[in-house]
Amino acid sequence: AQSVSQHNHHVILSEAASLELGCNYSYGGTVNLFWYVQYPGQHLQLLLKYFSGDPLVKGIKGFEAEFIKSKFSFNLRKPSVQWSDTAEYFCAVKKVGGNKLTFGTGTQLKVEL
Amino acid sequence: NAGVTQTPKFQVLKTGQSMTLQCAQDMNHEYMSWYRQDPGMGLRLIHYSVGAGITDQGEVPNGYNVSRSTTEDFPLRLLSAAPSQTSVYFCASSQNFDSVIEGAEQYFGPGTRLTVT
C-alpha cells in the first residue's frame, strides 16, 4: 500500500523567508503527486501536481515542487513566503492507474509579520 | 457554480445516534468521494462513487454507508455514531473515474466537523 510522510508538522517563518516542506512517499510504481493547501476556514484546493515530464513543477501563488524519483520525494518550495501563505499543506500521492489519493498528515505553516 | 457544498458545517451527536452528512455538486461530476481528516493522520478515503447507482469502499468504510441516487448528491450516513467517528469530513468530486485515474484535480467541499460524545 502507498503511504505519504510529511516530517514537518508545524513550521513558523517570518515574511520573506524561504520555504521548503518535505514530502516522501512509499510506493514502488509510477505515481502522480500533488500538493493541496487549506487556508484557515476554507476548503482544500490544489496547489500543484506532477504527472510526468519535467520534475520541477510550478503551481499557483509562486509555489513549486521538485520530484526526485530516486529519493521518493516531492518537496514543496517557495522563495519568499507571505503572511497570506499561512495555511495547512498536504502532500498526496496516487498510483498511476488507480483512483485512491493517499494524503500525508499535513504541515501547518504559520507566517509571521 | 457553487462547486461542492456540504451540510451541516458542525454537528454534535451522542453515541448511538444516526445522521446523514449531505454533499452536493453542481459541476455534473461523475466521481464523488468522502474523506475523513484526523489529527496526525491526514485525509483517509471512506467511500467513493463513480456514477449514479455505483459506490465502492475506500480505506476506512466501517461504520459508514453511502448511496448515489443522483449525479449531484452523495450523502454519507452514520447509522450508529461512535466517539471514534469524531472527525472532519470532506466530500470531493472530479469529472469522472478516468480523470481521477489520470490525476485530475479533485474539488473539495468546505467540510463538516462532527463530534460524537
Task: Identify whether the C-beta of residue B52 lies closer than 8 Å to the C-beta of residue B70.
Answer: yes
Q: Per residue in A27-80, pLDDT tens?
A: 878 899 999 999 998 888 899 999 889 999 999 999 999 999 999 999 999 999
- Cα–Cα distance, B44 to B41 (Å, whole number): 8
Nearest CA in chain A to B113: A41
Across the interface, do A103 and B42 touch by the CB < 8 Å criterion? yes
Task: Identify whether the C-beta of residue B88 lies closer than 8 Å to the C-beta of residue B114.
Answer: yes
- Cα–Cα distance, A46 to A66 (Å, whole number): 16
A99 touches chain B (CB under 8 A): yes
Residue reference for cell 519568499: A80
Q: What does the DSSP assignment read for A51-106?
A: -SS-SEEE-GGG-EEEEEGGGTEEEEEESS--GGG-EEEEEEEEETT----EE---
Q: Per residue in A70-81, pLDDT tens?
A: 999 999 999 999
